[in-house]
């Protein structure tokens, strides 16, 4: 008992220590943004709403309500801080490790082989992906329920009963609702009935051991069907045209071998392994198949004398089967995370096999202890090194490119990470490499076009977008971004065609309700931006509202809707939207200035001044915000707000060596007049009038103010009785 406690304590402390650096890691581009950041299911109003969203939301082609509930708890506790999510994964992984050790010890009665298997599970570098990738909460959580099921099944096998059976059923259900890869749990329990429980080898318990699994198999089958339907709706499953069956089978055989290789020699681990497709030679596949067949034959021949071999081997093969690629989800050949639970089977075969071979003598036991300790140290070091590659997405994707330099998708993901970090020149280099490797990929041309557009090379960007669309006519983002580029060149009719096409592709009637909210909202947002550029505020507001309704978590939709409403003088509607946006993104100078203008128009001039100053701190020298702030300082009827000298300084600085605008010269004139510089005020008004010839209303207002200046009277806004002050003719 004491040994078991010390082993458990050592497993927990070493595992937690090795994984401690994750508290400083960042979310990565892959699934973290849509699962951990922009996930509407994580925004909830009370526990009932949270449960409703957890069970009604599909995220990243998965329906995982229990995992979503755990992420909702994260959001409530940590407010989106990545450290909380990463440490949560570590805590679940440590708990699963301890439960695995205790469950195996209860099942087998052995101590040190169980400790070794648990240590491999805890510290093998193949498992870094399942712990250090925040979105893989589903791995650690489903692993915890899997271990609980093993523990409960050990108790059930000792003394069958309804409550014990119900406990196993509960853990199976929770595991399936965390990640459906535990569909193989009934199969694993049946293997345990062969060894160590020996229920299948006893005539009295054989039938019960099989029949009792049938309800669990039915639950697993139901979860499998539900997973298939969700992934099919998300178009995540490759069809046989895109990836023929012979290529799937070849990759499956090769992947089973590669997982074994990486289990014993975990070198060149990466977040992405490109699918070989037709490039995988059949000679190599035949060699891998021969290895698998040989191990299977040997294990089967020893099934009675060395039963742990066939149990461990079939555990490994069977648990990998749903992820091996016969049903292909995504475009990867394999993934480290898929080995999270299957590797336990190989560890069992190795641990008990070595114990049988060398554990009979004292010298052998010493050798096993030394080898086990060395293995744990080696795995700890390799895991610590692998963790370094997960500290941020640029390091992660750079590692993937280093391992697969000739894979275009790895280059593409590295380019995306570099773009997010503002390293656009480096991103361009990676996209160009991706195009050299796969010139037929429309998405790569679209990525390069995005970079060209960001660099204001719009003509070249448009050509690239058009080429991308020629290669991939249904590439929605290419249509949307082409529309935006065209709008920036005032080619608005062409822009609308592509933006509306992009919207139609997003909101395809076949799967409309199953698309993630951000994808549904994106074309509305882009089209609204183009309509704002065209001056069609009412139409833009309608599309911003659609984007905001589809995806309330999309902060830019709420912010831009508020800004558009303010531009349309609908200030009462704009105010709450802009205030909410500012609580989320306080460093947006556009929202700061938009809220300032809204407050100014609603008579809250003191609040307006504060937000104009915030905007200018974020964007020094911004002419429009400077102009609006100076106007209040020069013309406010409130003596506490008036500061003519600052208004003059602001306007003289912003107009220095810049092109002049009538409204800004008008503000400069008002500031001069308020400061008692009458002659300067008249001269500024004259210059403003010369530039305002095409704006009769503004020209008329400037003439009124010029008349005041000639009389030596500064212009002061007039309070209209409700707290708002308006200039003569209400023109600014």
CB 713 within 8 A of CB 728: no
CA nearest 529: which of 537, 624, 582?
A: 537
**DSSP-based three-state secondary structure for 274:** strand
pLDDT at site 507 = 62
Over the stretch 83-142, which tens digit does the pLDDT of each residue have?
A: 999 999 999 999 999 999 999 999 999 999 999 999 999 999 999 999 999 999 999 999
CB 478 within 8 A of CB 449: yes
Average pLDDT of every residue of the chain = 92
Is the pLDDT at 724 greater than 50? The verdict is no
Model confidence at 238, pLDDT cuts 50, 70, 90, reads confident
Over the stretch 343-402, which tens digit does the pLDDT of each residue have?
A: 999 999 999 999 999 988 999 999 999 999 999 999 999 999 999 999 999 999 999 999
Over the stretch 704-716, which tens digit does the pLDDT of each residue have?
A: 999 999 999 999 9
Separation in Å, CA 625 to CA 147, 572, 590, 638, 651: 60, 20, 9, 20, 11
Model confidence at 33, pLDDT cuts 50, 70, 90, reads confident
Q: Which residue has the tokens 């030394």?
A: 370
DSSP letters for 193-224 = HHTTS-STTSHHHHHHHHHTTHHHHHHHHHHH
Task: Specify the range with the lowest mean pLDDT, choosing from 207-216, 217-226, 554-563, 609-618.
Answer: 554-563
Model confidence at 730, pLDDT cuts 50, 70, 90, reads very low
pLDDT at site 659 = 64
pLDDT at site 490 = 79
Neighbours of 404 (CB within 10 A): 17
**DSSP-based three-state secondary structure for 639:** coil
Residue 505's region, left for phi above 0, alpha for psi from -120 to 50, else beta, is: alpha
pLDDT at site 498 = 92
Strand partners, 332: 274
Over the stretch 626-635, which tens digit does the pLDDT of each residue have?
A: 999 999 999 9
Mean pLDDT over 300-313 rounds to: 97
pLDDT at site 731 = 36
* CA atoms of 502 and 469, how far apart (whole Å): 11
The reported pTM is 0.74
Is the torsion defined by CA of 616, 618, 619, 625 positive or negative? negative
Is the pLDDT at 167 greater than 90? The verdict is yes
pLDDT at site 660 = 74
Q: Which of 220-229, 497-506, 531-540 has the highest mean pLDDT?
A: 220-229
DSSP letters for 501-512 = HHHHHHT-TTTG
Task: Specify the range with the lowest mean pLDDT, choosing from 66-75, 138-147, 554-563, 655-664.
Answer: 655-664
Model confidence at 493, pLDDT cuts 50, 70, 90, reads confident
Is the pLDDT at 728 greater than 70? The verdict is no
Over the stretch 641-699, which tens digit does the pLDDT of each residue have?
A: 999 999 999 999 988 766 678 999 999 999 999 999 999 999 999 999 999 988 999 99
Is the pLDDT at 723 greater than 60? The verdict is no
pLDDT at site 217 = 98
Mean pLDDT over 282-292 rounds to: 96
């Amino acid at each position: 008992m004491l040994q078991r406690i010390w082993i458990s304590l050592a497993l927990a402390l070493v595992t937690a220590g090795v994984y401690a650096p994750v508290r400083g890691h960042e979310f990565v581009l892959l699934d973290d943004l849509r699962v951990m950041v922009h996930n509407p299911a994580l925004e909830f109003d009370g526990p009932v709403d949270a449960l409703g969203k957890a069970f009604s939301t599909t995220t990243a082609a998965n329906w995982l309500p229990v995992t979503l509930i755990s992420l909702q708890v994260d959001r409530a506790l940590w407010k989106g801080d990545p450290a909380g999510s990463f440490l949560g994964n570590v805590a679940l992984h440590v708990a699963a490790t301890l439960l695995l050790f205790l469950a195996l010890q209860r099942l087998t009665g052995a101590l040190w082989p169980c400790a070794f298997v648990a240590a491999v599970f805890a510290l093998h570098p193949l498992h870094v992906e399942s712990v250090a990738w925040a979105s893989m909460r589903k791995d650690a959580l489903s692993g915890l329920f899997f271990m609980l099921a093993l523990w409960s099944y050990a108790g059930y096998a000792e003394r069958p009963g309804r409550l014990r059976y119900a406990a196993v059923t509960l853990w199976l259900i929770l595991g399936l609702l965390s990640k459906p890869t535990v569909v193989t749990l009934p199969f694993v329990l049946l293997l345990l009935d062969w060894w160590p429980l020996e229920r299948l080898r006893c005539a009295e318990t054989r039938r019960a051991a099989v029949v009792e699994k049938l309800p669990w198999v039915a639950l697993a089958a139901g979860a499998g069907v539900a997973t298939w339907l969700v992934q099919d709706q998300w178009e995540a499953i490759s069809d046989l045209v895109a990836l023929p069956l012979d290529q799937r089978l070849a990759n499956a055989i090769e992947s089973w071998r590669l997982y074994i290789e990486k289990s014993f020699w975990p070198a060149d681990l990466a977040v992405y392994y490109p699918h070989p497709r037709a490039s995988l030679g059949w000679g190599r596949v035949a060699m891998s198949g021969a290895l698998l067949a040989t191990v299977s034959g040997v294990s089967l021949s020893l099934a009675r004398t060395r039963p742990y071999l066939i149990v461990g081997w079939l555990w490994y093969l069977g648990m990998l089967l749903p992820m091996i690629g016969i049903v292909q989800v995504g475009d990867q050949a394999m993934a480290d995370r898929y080995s999270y639970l299957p590797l336990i089977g190989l560890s069992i075969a190795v641990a008990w096999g070595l114990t049988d071979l060398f554990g009979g003598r004292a010298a052998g036991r010493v050798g096993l202890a030394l080898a086990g300790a060395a293995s744990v140290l080696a795995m700890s070091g390799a895991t610590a090194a692998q963790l370094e590659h997960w500290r941020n997405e640029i390091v992660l994707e750079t590692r993937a490119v280093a391992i697969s330099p000739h894979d275009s998708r790895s280059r593409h993901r590295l380019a995306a990470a570099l773009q997010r970090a503002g390293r656009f020149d480096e991103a361009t280099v990676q996209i160009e490499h991706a195009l050299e490797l796969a010139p037929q990929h429309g998405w790569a041309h679209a990525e390069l076009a995005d970079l060209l557009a960001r660099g204001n090379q719009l003509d070249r960007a448009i050509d690239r977008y058009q080429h991308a669309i020629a290669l991939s006519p249904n590439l929605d983002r290419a249509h949307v971004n082409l529309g935006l580029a065209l709008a920036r060149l005032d080619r608005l009719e062409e822009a609308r065609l592509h933006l509306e096409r992009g919207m139609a592709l997003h909101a395809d009637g076949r799967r409309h309700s199953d698309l993630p909210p951000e994808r549904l909202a994106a074309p509305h947002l882009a089209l609204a931006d183009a309509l704002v550029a065209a001056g069609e505020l009412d139409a833009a507001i309608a599309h911003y509202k659609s984007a905001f309704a589809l995806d309330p978590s999309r902060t830019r939709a709420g912010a831009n809707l508020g800004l558009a409403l303010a531009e349309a003088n609908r200030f009462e509607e704009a105010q709450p939207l802009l205030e909410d946006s500012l609580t989320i993104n306080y460093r947006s100078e556009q929202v700061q200035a938009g809220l300032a203008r809204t407050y100014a128009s609603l008579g809250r001039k003191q609040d307006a001044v504060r937000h104009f100053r915030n905007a200018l701190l974020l964007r020094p020298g911004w002419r429009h915000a400077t102009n609006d702030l100076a106007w209040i300082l020069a013309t406010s009827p409130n003596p506490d707000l008036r500061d003519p000298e600052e208004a003059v300084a602001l306007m003289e600085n912003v107009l220095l060596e810049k092109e002049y605008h009538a409204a800004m010269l008008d503000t400069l004139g008002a500031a001069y007049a308020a400061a008692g510089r009458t002659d300067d005020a008249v001269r500024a008004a004259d210059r403003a009038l010369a530039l305002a010839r095409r704006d009769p209303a503004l020209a008329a207002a400037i003439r009124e103010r010029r008349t005041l200046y000639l009389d030596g009277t500064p212009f002061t806004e007039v309070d209209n009785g409700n707290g708002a002050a308006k200039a003569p003719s209400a023109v600014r």
